[in-house]
Homo-oligomer: A and B are copies of this chain.
Amino acid sequence: MEKLSFASDYMEGAHPAILKKLVETNMERSAGYGYDKFSESARNKIREACAAPDADVYFLVGGTQTNAVMIDALLRPYQGVIAAKSGHISVHEAGAIEFGGHKVLETEHRDGKISADDIGRILLEYRQDENHEHMVMPGMVYISQPTEYGTLYSLTELKEISRVCRDNHIPLYLDGARLAYALACPENDVTLKDLASLCNAFYIGGTKCGALFGEAVVIPEHDYIPHLFTIIKQHGALLAKGRIAGIQFDTMFTDRLYDNIGKTAIEAADKIRKALADKGYRLAFHSPTNQIFLSLEEHQAKELSEKLELGFWENMDDGHTIMRLATSWATMPEDVDRLIEYL
């Protein structure tokens, strides 16, 4: 019997409804580079979901690419981006931001989150430093929802972050690689409409939320970034058959599929979390989304790994190992039951 796998949320292909639509539309002819009717339809549905009728929407291929393009597009060349030390751009993008010439101004975080106070302090210290002309100017803020630790910003927190950015005239950009899993989370109080009103740009993740690939960039204010099409091309991020991304997002934003994808994963994760609590497992931190971080004794980690495919996260100084369980749109109820039974 195949090992139960909760190692990651992008191990299967795509949600079947997406594949179905790709097959149905396959022989229709369309213009390239996003100038097709599928992409246009997807853009409109996303504008509606975000209550941002003027939004510019672009479809890119992957998360690192999207971050690199957007951060380069939002910053002036001599500026850097404020981000959590644990941010994807800080650690796991192989220097893609620096490749574009920008420093990541890494800041301390609490379970993956930074606060309006952190940002305000960095901006103030920069301005007050008498040598600040010799330093990298903080030019924008990068956050992720959910964070790399599976945690969530509350609406109040996001509003505060947004305010400090606006007061300081720097854009706020949000990485939504796993956004479906935030939106579907019972304790989440931040909607797409909130994001559109609070961020200058954000992306709705496809790759980790049921698409073959693809991330939908939303820029609520039209033409906020002039010539973004060319910037995307310059970064090698322009999809020739833009329709392939368009069809996927058009499908995900039809009949609440994106919501349902999130819901499936969160219900499974919640069920597992409850079982883990019942059995006395210790969680490394409170992450209410589709990722569960277990703090395990060495022997526990070993035993569990024999039965389950888990993601390794970190070795702690106290001898514990943090392992990650991830659910997704593709998680089967029977696998969840088998897991709980095993626990």
Q: Chain A interface (Cβ within 8 Å of chain B)?
A: 5, 8, 10-14, 16, 19, 22-23, 25-32, 61-69, 72, 76-78, 80, 91-96, 98-99, 101-104, 106, 130-131, 133-137, 207-208, 212-213, 227, 229-231, 233-241, 243-244, 312, 330
Instruction: Decide: A26 and B11 in contact? CB cutoff 8 A.
Output: no
A238 surroundings in chain B (CB, below 8 A) = 62, 64, 134
Give the residue name and chain of the B residue nearest to A226 (CB).
Answer: B76
Known: A64-B236, A77-B77. 14 other contacts (CB 8 A): A10-B241, A12-B27, A12-B28, A12-B29, A13-B26, A61-B61, A62-B236, A76-B227, A77-B99, A77-B231, A93-B233, A99-B234, A212-B241, A236-B236
Q: How many monomers of this chain does the complex have?
A: 4
Q: Is the CB of A94 within 8 A of B19?
A: no
Determine which of B29, B68, B208 lies in contact with A11 in the assembled complex, contact meaning CB atoms within 8 Å: B29
Shortest A89–chain B CB gap in Å is 11
- A135-B92, A230-B78 known; A23-B23 Cβ under 8 A: yes
5 nearest A-B residue pairs (beta carbon): A65-B236, A13-B26, A94-B233, A95-B136, A94-B234
| In the complex, residue of chain B having the shortest beta-carbon distance to the beta carbon of A30 | B11
A130 to chain B, nearest CB (A): 6
B213 touches A133 (CB 8 A): no
A66: chain B residues within 8 A (beta carbon): 236
**Bound: A95/B79 CA distance, A:** 8
Give the chain B neighbours of A16 by CB distance below 8 A. 26
Q: Known interface pairs A19-B23, A26-B12. Does A62 touch B98 (Cβ–Cβ under 8 Å)?
A: no
> How many angstroms between the C-alpha atoms of A12 and B32 in the bound complex?
9
Other-chain residue from B19, B32, B91, B95 in contact with A22 (beta carbon distance below 8 A)? B19
Some 5 contacts from A to B, beta carbons below 8 A apart, are A61-B239, A94-B133, A98-B136, A133-B230, A134-B238
